[in-house]
Amino acid sequence: MLVTGAARRVGAEIVRHLHAAGANVAIHYRQSAADARALAGELEALRPASTLLLAADLLQIETLPQLVTATMARFGRLDVLVNNASTFYPTAFGSINRQQWDDLMGSNLQAPLFLAQAAAPALRATGGLLINIADIHGLRPLRDYGVYSLAKSGLIQLTRMLARELAPEVRVNAILPGPVLWPEAAAEAELSPQRQQQIIDNTPLQRAGSPSDVARAVRYFACDAPFVTGQILAVDGGRSLGW
């Protein structure tokens, strides 16, 4: 299994859940080397020789096949690819610039496309699974986050496209988290405590979720859904019902 953006937060929880289910895990990270090493150490203590650390900038698309090659060299196969890595920050319409476009589209859409393309032969060989971690705002754009929302919308469509392109050998699904974990730089992301509470108030279940909620959905697709492909699963406490 290969998970991008896996050193921390939701990605790390996905890794823990699938490792507990018996998977060997390639942990991709960009800058969070210490967190990646700590996570690998935690998992190696449970099951030796079960992890691989992969450092890469996913915007450098020419290097993406190396992630697949390294995973195959370490474990001999690739059964699951989880495109989890993401960049999130506001881009108010009227002041969007090329750097923001390249960064947000690159991490949220371009990298998943090209990594899926690189991984397709290995996934076909194992009858594998590809999971894209999108966002409910790919369905309902978030005000002032237009480029991010557009990229996640593209990722949802990429999921459907790949489900057709890679069938029948490979299943492809997407998970759309809602309010499961606030950005660490919440102030920079313009998510004040008051705004966070407003989001919770407008969520039918009246609470935030957790990274484990997303990880359990990933595990469902990986372990319990052999006849499910092309599906878009919101894990959002009902927020996508309307707000």
Residue range 141-191, pLDDT digits in tens: 999 999 999 999 999 999 999 999 999 999 999 999 998 887 776 545 566
Place of tokens 């371009």: 110
pLDDT at res. 189: 56
CA distance 118 to 241: 35
User: Could you give the CA distance from residue 167 to residue 163 in angstroms, rounded to a whole number?
Assistant: 6
| Burial of 237 per CB tally in 10 Å (0-12, 13-18, 19+) | buried
The residue annotated as part of the active site, out of 29, 89, 145, 148, is 148
Percent of the chain with pLDDT over 90: 86
Q: Is 220 marked active-site? A: no
177: containing domain? 2-241
Contact between 7 and 36 under an 8 Å Cβ cutoff? The reply is yes
Whether the CB-CB separation of 203 and 236 falls below 8 Å is answered with yes
Cα distance between residue 120 and residue 116, in whole Å: 6
Residues 218-236: what's their mean pLDDT?
A: 97
Average pLDDT, the chain: 94
Least confident stretch, 108-117, 202-211, 222-231: 202-211
User: What CATH number is given to the structural domain containing 50?
Assistant: 3.40.50.720
The pLDDT of residue 193 is 82
Number of domains in the chain: 1
- Residue of 180, 138, 187, 188 lying closest to 159 (CA atoms): 138
Whole-number Å distance between alpha carbons of 78 and 76: 7
- pLDDT, one tens digit per residue, over 38-77 is 999 999 999 999 999 999 999 999 999 999 999 999 999 9
Strand 51-55 with 80-83, pairing: unpaired
**Which pTM was predicted?**
0.94
Residue 107 has pLDDT above 70, yes or no: yes
